[in-house]
Amino acid sequence: MKKTIGIFSASIAAFALLGAVSCGGKNGASSDGAKSAAVEKVSITNVSYDPTRELYAAYNKLFAAHWKEKTGQDVEITQSHGGSGKQALEVANGLEADVVTLALEYDVNAVQNAGLIEKGWVGEFPLDSSPYTSTIVFLVRKGNPKQIFDWDDLIRPGVGVITPNPKTSGGACWNYLAAWAFAERKFGGDEEKIREFVKQIYANVLVLDSGARGATNSFVQNKQGDVLLAWENEAFLSIADYPDDYEIVTPSLSILAQPSVAVVDEVVDRRKTREVAEEYLNYLYSEEAQRVAGKNFYRPSNKAVLAEFSDVFDLNINLVTIADFGGWDAAHKKHFDNGALFDQIYEKK
Q: What is the pLDDT along the chain (349 residues), one digit of tens a residue?
A: 443 434 333 333 333 333 333 333 334 444 444 444 357 899 999 999 999 999 999 999 999 999 999 999 999 999 999 999 999 999 999 999 999 999 999 999 999 999 999 999 999 999 999 999 999 999 999 999 999 999 999 999 999 999 999 999 999 999 999 999 999 999 999 999 999 999 999 999 999 999 999 999 999 999 999 999 999 999 999 999 999 999 999 999 999 999 999 999 999 999 999 999 999 999 999 999 999 999 999 999 999 999 999 999 999 999 999 999 999 999 999 999 999 999 999 987 6
Segment holding 14, helix H or strand E: none
Rounded Cα gap, residues 258 and 268, in angstroms: 24
Say if CB 165 and CB 209 are below 8 A apart: yes
What pLDDT score does 348 carry?
75
Helices (H), 114-258: 126-129, 170-186, 191-203, 212-220, 232-241
Residues near 188 by beta carbon (within 8 Å), at least 6 away in sequence = none
For the purposes of burial, counting CB atoms within 10 Å of the CB of 52, is it exposed (0-12), middle (13-18) or buried (19 or more)? Answer: buried
Q: Partners of 5 in the beta sheet?
A: 248
What pLDDT score does 37 carry?
38
Q: Angle, nearest 10°, between helix axes 212-220 and 232-241?
A: 40
How many C-beta neighbours within 10 Å does residue 69 have?
8
CA 239 from chain center: how many Å?
Answer: 18
User: Closest by alpha carbon to 152, among 106, 176, 186?
Assistant: 186
Question: Which three-class secondary structure state does DSSP give residue 147?
Answer: coil
User: Closest by alpha carbon to 179, among 164, 197, 203, 166?
Assistant: 197
What pLDDT score does 3 carry?
39
Task: Indicate the residue type of 42.
Answer: V
What pLDDT score does 349 carry?
62
What pTM did the predictor assign? 0.86
What pLDDT score does 40 carry?
86
| CA-based R_g, the chain, Å | 20
**How many residues are listed for the chain in this entry?**
349
Rounded Cα gap, residues 204 and 157, in angstroms: 8
Q: Partners of 74 in the beta sheet?
A: 41
Q: Angle, nearest 10°, between helix axes 170-186 and 84-92?
A: 130
Residues near 191 by beta carbon (within 8 Å), at least 6 away in sequence = none
Residues near 69 by beta carbon (within 8 Å), at least 6 away in sequence = none
Rounded Cα gap, residues 312 and 288, in angstroms: 18
Rounded Cα gap, residues 310 and 154, in angstroms: 28
The sign of the torsion formed by the CA atoms of 36, 41, 44, 50 equals: positive
What pLDDT score does 145 carry?
97
User: Closest by alpha carbon to 111, among 94, 132, 131, 128?
Assistant: 94
